[in-house]
Every structure is written in C-alpha cells, then in structure tokens.
Amino acid sequence: MSTLYAFLLVAATVVMLVGLARKAKQYRKTPAPLKIPVTPAPKTTGGVVIRLAKEVVLFASLFRSNKWTWLFGWMFHVSLALVFLRHLRYVIDPEGMLGFLWPLVSLEVVQSFGKYAGITMVIGLLGLFGRRLFVARVRYISAPSDYLMLLLIMFIGFSGLTMSFISHIDIVQMKSFMLGILNFDLVDLPEGSTILIHLGLVALLGFILPVSKLLHIPGVFYAPTRNQVDNPREKRHIVEWAKKLDETRKDYPELRG
Amino acid sequence: MADYEVPELKEYAVVPLPEDDTMKGLKPFVAKPDFQEALGYPGKKDETKENTYLLVDGWHDKAIDKMGDLLNRYRGFRVFMDSCVKCGACTDKCHYFLGTKDAKNMPVARQDLLRSVYRRYFTFAGKFFPKLVGARDLTEDVVEEWYSYFHQCSECRRCSVFCPYGIDTAEVTMAAREILAHIGRGTKYSNEIIGKVFTIGNNLGLPEKALANVLEGLEEDVEYDIEVEVKFPLDKKGADILLVTPSADFFAEPHIDGLIGYAKVFHATNTSWTLSTMASEAANFGLFIGSYENMQRISMRIRQAAEDLGVKRIVYGECGHAWRVGYSFLNTLAGPFDFLDQNYPIPQHICEFTLDKLEKGELNIDKSRNDDMTLTFHDSCNVARASGMGDKPGGQFTIPRAVIKHVCNNYVDMEKDTIHDATFCCGGGGGLLTDDLMEIRVKGILPRATALKNVTEEYGVTHMAAICAICKSQFTKVLPYYGFTMDQIVSVHQLVSNAIILEGQVDPED
C-alpha cells in the first residue's frame, strides 16, 4: 500500500507540474495580435504587475462583481494557501535541501492559523457549493464537473480535518514517509484509513488539474485583457503572423485610387 | 408596433431569473454569397429557395479547423476557453440578459455555446468525458444557436470588467462570428457595409459627389444660421489634419450637429483640416465580425488618405468602436506612422483636440447658450472599456465630461454602476444596429434607459450626450419605445457648437 501511494503521489505531482508547464508554454507561445487590455489599464509594466497582483491576491474584479462569491472564494483560496504552507512541514527536512524554507513553514501564522484554516477552507467551499445549488443563474451554468470539483476539494478538507481534530495519525511517521519518497528510501505510511482517503483524493486532484478548469491558475496570468500595457499609440504592437500580412496590405485595389 | 413585449422601466435594474429560450431563433439576415466572397468568405445559395443560404460543403470540419486556427493565433481566445471556473460573477452583468431574461444571454452561458464545442474537440476531458464537463458535438443546431446568440452580444466587454480572470466575451463572440463566416454564415448587415467601404469608401455607400454636395450644403446651412463662412474641406492636399469620422456624421441626427461642432472648433482655432473621400469612414465593421484581415484592409484606407493628402495629423470624430480601432489597433494594423507629426498622439480624438483648445482659452464660449438643457453623458462601451484618451488611465471618462462642462452649466452623472467602465451598452453596438435585430435592441437598452429615467426624475436631466455614432442612432430610434423623445440625444460637439461664438457671428433673432 505504501509503495502504491508513493507511486501515486509522485505520478500525480509529475502529471500536474508537466501539465501546467505545458499549458503555460502553450499560452506563452500563442501570439496576442492586438492590444486588448480592458481599460482603464496601466500605462506601464509596473502598473500591470500591480493590476495582476490585485487580481491574484485580492480578487479585485470579483470583489467588484459579487460580494458573496468573493467572500467564499477568497476565504477558500487564502485558507488553501495557509493549509498548503502548513503542509510543507511534511516534506521539508530542516537540515535538508529545502531547509531554508523552514522559517516560513514554522511561522506561528502558518502553523496555528493553518490548522484552523482547514475549517475556513471548507466553509468557503460549502458557500461556493451552496451558490451553485441555490442561485438559479449559477445553477444554470454549472456542469457536473463543477460540483464534483468542489466536492473533491471538500472531501480532501474533511479527511484532513478529521486527522487534525478527531482521529489523529502518527504525523512523525507521515513525515518519514514523505521524506522517504524524496530521498528514494521508502518508509511505511502511518496506520489508518483516513490518510489513505486524504492522499488518494489529493493525487486525484493532481491528475485532474491540468485537464480541467483549474487551468485558471496559469490562465489568470495570461489574459491579455489584464496583462497588457495600455500604450498602443506610443508603441507599435505587432506579432509574427501579422507581420506577414503587412507585406501585402498595400495591394488592395481600392487603395490605388 | 412590435410583436414582442417592451420591458417595463422600473426604479432599479432588476436581475431576472434566467429563463429558457426567450430569444431563441432571433437572428440577423445571412449575407449573400456575393457579399461573403467580397470579404474572403465562402457562401452557398440554396438553388431551390429564394434568399436562402446553406452551410458550405464540409462545414463541420471547416468550422473545427477554423476554431483550431484561431486558438493558435489569438492568445486571448485560447486562454479564455480554458480558464472559466463558472463562478457566475458575469451572469448578471449583460444588458441583453437583463433585458431578455434569456439564460443564454448570460455572458458565461454565451461563451459556453462555443466552449462546449471547444472542450469536445480540443480537450482531454471533453473527448473522453463529454457529459461530465458539458462538452457537445458540433451539429447544425449548434451552428444555428451560435448564429443566433453570438448576434445577441454587442461585444461591449462589460462582463470582462467583472470577471476574475479577465475573460472577454467580446473576443469569444468575434471568434464565433469568424468561424461562422467561414462556413457561410456571415451577416448581411455587417458584410454588406464592409463591402460598401471597399467599393465606395464608406458604410453608407455615399459616393464622392454626393459627399461633396452634403458638405457644400452644410457650409450654406451654417452660413445661413450664423453668417460665418465655416468650411468643410474635402480632399484638401497639404492640410494639417485629416479628420476621419463615421459617415453617419454626414447625414444623421444628431450626428451631423457634432460634425458642425468639429468644423466650428477648427474654424475658431484657424486649424487647417480636411475630410477625405478615401477615408470618408471612421467605422470599421471588421472589428465586429472578428476579422483581423478585414479590419486591416479598412484601416489601410486611412493611412493611404493621410499619405495621399500629405497631412501631418489624424483626428477621429465621435465614434465608439472606430475609436477602439483607432486608439488600440491603428498603429498595429496600418502603422508605423512615422510620416506624421510625432508631437501629437496618432491618432488623436476630437475630444482631446477640443479640450486642449478649451483649456488654452482659444475658443470663445458662452455656456449659457446651453442653459435650456440639463445634460448627462453616456460612456460608450468601446471608448470606456477598450480605449483611452489623454495620457492618464481613465482619460476617456474625464476628457469628454470636461468638454461638456466647459460648454454647459448643467451636468449630472447617471448612477455610479452604469457609467465609466461599468457603463451599459446602448444595446445596438457590435454589428447589431440593424432592423432585423430590433427586438434585442429594444430589450437590450433597458438598463441604460432605467439609469436615464432615474436622473431625469431625480435631477431633471433633459438630454443625454454621447460620442458614438451607433449609440446616437440606437438611442434616437429605440429610446422612444420607453417614452423618451428622439431629440433628447445629443452629440458632445453639438453642445460645443451651440456654445461657441465665432468671430463675426450673427445669431438669428428668435
């Protein structure tokens, strides 16, 4: 069982990282032939960085749009970030290669808030799930996968919270297992079925991520509507395929008077 | 007067419950094969029936191929197909949804008409688990659904302002229309208009001689009115400024009063300017149909005219989507403009030009001449969300308002969530300004009409100014359905024209 899980986790991580990297590469390589920032837009690159940061960190547009969706969505994502940071303690050996991250992971805010962030994360997800069920407009646009995705992450949360607050597992053993994977020296998983559910669902999430709407993770950085500088009059924007059209653009018969 | 119900104006815009198919089947006339071919698209006539056009042979694969081509050429389209999480932030933001209640007019639902096909043919999940992720095969019914609902979007981008991922339905609509055009489903309205630009020079099909007559008539009218010889030069070589303006400015009300306003500003400031027959059209419907090639071909006329006439600057008249193409794309499509005077923005908006003159005190203005009106300003979508003015973000909001306030004493804004970048479309933009789409135009104006009614009742607003030919045409035609009158819509430069006093001006006695 431990070997199977080790394999699953490694495979899921590889699929997720490679999948995301390939998608990001595809986005980067697809040209954006026209300047289409939604205006008013920043006139400088620095301004664009601030605009994107506001979107990624604060969900600024969503805040403007709908306070409830923002509240639940932001609560979920911030909680998830804290929970993620807290989990790093299972894969970082303070003496090892990633040890330099240890001060971050051992921060009070990460370790104590991170524990309770699991709860706010699930509350956020429940809120989003409720919106999907009870707001007619959102229900209309929801496909089965939209519900399942929320359920998947919710169950990851539930199983995790169970281990944190109700039936504890041997986390020292857990860490040995994770470090074992990283050091190619496999150690057994701790006893208990909850951890199997938890890790299995996490692996599933990793596999799904690059072929699902979770592509909003790279997508948010690549939207020309948000990441372009608003300077079309000052600087000519032209992509390769459009340059080819430039060579024949004067040949139209009506231009010869 | 209409076989559909005109929505009732309420005090506040109400978000309706989505309903199924209230606007199903509303679609514009299909372009004839001749007009398709003139723009580089295929067309097929049904030989058995009059005025019926079929999808071209092999339409299914051609549509999928075109989608693949666009996915590879437009990053926006590519990213937007993937990154929607169906959060619902956009669902109550579209004026067409608010006015029609049709669920497929919610921006995300509109995108999904195309996204469902994208997922089926281009994604792992859609290929193997179509039901799970809402993917579907491309069928003839789907094509007809596209043709209907992608012509119930005015590409106004209001939804994209509120989207956490910046997904722009306008880009999706443009892609859909481009795909449709490639399988024989271009629209009569847009394609015939583009054809007229190529063959005659402007959307209206106004030939050189008729245009010259119109301008001559205008000179006579103005001289009759105020006894000043204000010129409307056409094809004047060596002029400093080429004015490019929508052809509606040459004949429609209140557009033409705006044109008179530009001419008076140029006259008062001794500016040497000219119109051009080659570039007698600022509008660029290539934008609406999502065609880079057609948009470039139309834009090249402006460059050509500027070169032929030897002007130093290009100034755009009041036209919303033309300003988007002018401000955001002209440099890309027809630049670089190294032969023009680099000390001025290329191109420049007439409001930028006029405000500069007003601020320098070069115009003799008597604001009280507009005292019979209380004004509000309608931010046109393409100006508000797809372009800029001046050198600061948001100049497109402050500059036209500053022009109005320089020439009018009474001005109030409409409600905050209906102006600036949250402005509601007039309901007729994006290639929908045609009688065959009257129903969607009447219903889509609802949020704007609501906001206008509120300032009318609360602050006694009598007139709404706009800087877009389509907005002005749509408002004059459709606001009367809601109890307003046609003449409540004015051009911004009409207000300038009213307030300006030219040297030697003699006003008619009332």
pLDDT digits (tens, 9 = 90+) for B109-162: 999 999 999 999 999 999 999 999 999 999 999 999 999 999 999 999 999 999
Q: For each of the domains in chain B, give its residue range(s) and CATH number, in order of start.
A: 33-186 (1.10.1060), 194-412+461-499 (no CATH)
Question: How many Cβ atoms sit within 10 Å of the Cβ of residue A60?
Answer: 16
Q: How far is B344 from chain A (nearest CA, A)?
A: 10
Q: What is the mean pLDDT of residues B282-308?
A: 97
Amino acid at B479: L
For A176, half-sphere exposure in the C-beta direction (CA atoms, 13 angstrom radius) is: 12
Encoding tokens for residue B370?
Answer: 């507009």
Looking at residue B4, what is its pLDDT?
Answer: 87
**In this prediction, what percent of chain B has a pLDDT beyond 70?**
99
Looking at residue B2, what is its pLDDT?
Answer: 58
For the stretch A172-189, pLDDT in tens is 999 999 999 999 999 999
Alpha helices (H) along B236-291: 255-268
Residue B45, helix vs strand vs coil: strand
The kind and range of the H/E element at B490 are strand B489-491
Encoding tokens for residue A187?
Answer: 């150690």
Band (A79; pLDDT cuts 50, 70, 90): very high
Give the number of A-B residue pairs with CB atoms closer than 8 Å.
Answer: 232
Q: How far is A17 from chain B (nearest CA, A)?
A: 17
For the stretch B366-409, pLDDT in tens is 999 999 999 999 999 999 999 999 999 999 999 999 999 999 99
CA distance B124 to B130: 9
CB B84 within 8 A of CB B108: yes
For the stretch B53-71, pLDDT in tens is 999 999 999 999 999 999 9
C-beta atoms of A43 and B71 within 8 A: no
Mean pLDDT of chain A: 95
Looking at residue A107, what is its pLDDT?
Answer: 86
For the stretch B215-228, pLDDT in tens is 999 999 999 999 99
Q: What is the mean pLDDT of residues B458-470?
A: 98
Closest CA to B173 of B89, B125, B223, B105: B105
Q: What are phi and psi of B243, to 5 degrees?
A: -95, 120
Q: What is the mean pLDDT of residues A143-161?
A: 98
Q: For each of the domains in chain A, give its residue range(s) and CATH number, in order of start.
A: 37-200 (1.20.950)
Looking at residue B3, what is its pLDDT?
Answer: 76
| R_g of chain A computed on alpha carbons | 23
**In this prediction, what percent of chain B has a pLDDT beyond 90?**
96
Nearest residue, CB atoms, B385 vs list A38, A137, A224: A38
Looking at residue B12, what is its pLDDT?
Answer: 80
Mean pLDDT of chain B: 97
Give me the numbers of helices (H) and strands (E) for chain B, helices first please.
23, 9
Looking at residue A257, what is its pLDDT?
Answer: 60
Judged against a pLDDT cut of 60, whether residue B1 lies above it is answered with: no
C-beta atoms of B80 and A223 within 8 A: yes
Nearest residue, CB atoms, A255 vs list B163, B304, B384: B304
For the stretch B413-446, pLDDT in tens is 999 999 999 999 999 999 999 999 999 999 999 9
Nearest residue, CB atoms, A34 vs list B83, B332, B397: B332
Amino acid at A125: L
Q: Which residue of B has its CA nearest to A52?
A: B165
Q: What is the mean pLDDT of residues A16-33?
A: 97
Q: Give the single-character DSSP code of B178.
A: H
CB B469 within 8 A of CB B248: yes
Judged against a pLDDT cut of 50, whether residue B352 lies above it is answered with: yes
Q: What is the mean pLDDT of residues B189-205?
A: 93
Q: From the candidates B106, B281, B328, which should be mutated to test the interface with A, based on the most A CB atoms within 10 A? A: B328
Question: How many Cβ atoms sit within 10 Å of the Cβ of residue B351?
Answer: 28
The sign of the CA dihedral B204, B210, B214, B215 is positive
For the stretch A187-233, pLDDT in tens is 999 999 999 999 999 999 999 999 999 999 999 999 999 999 999 99
CA distance B292 to B70: 11
CA distance B384 to B441: 20
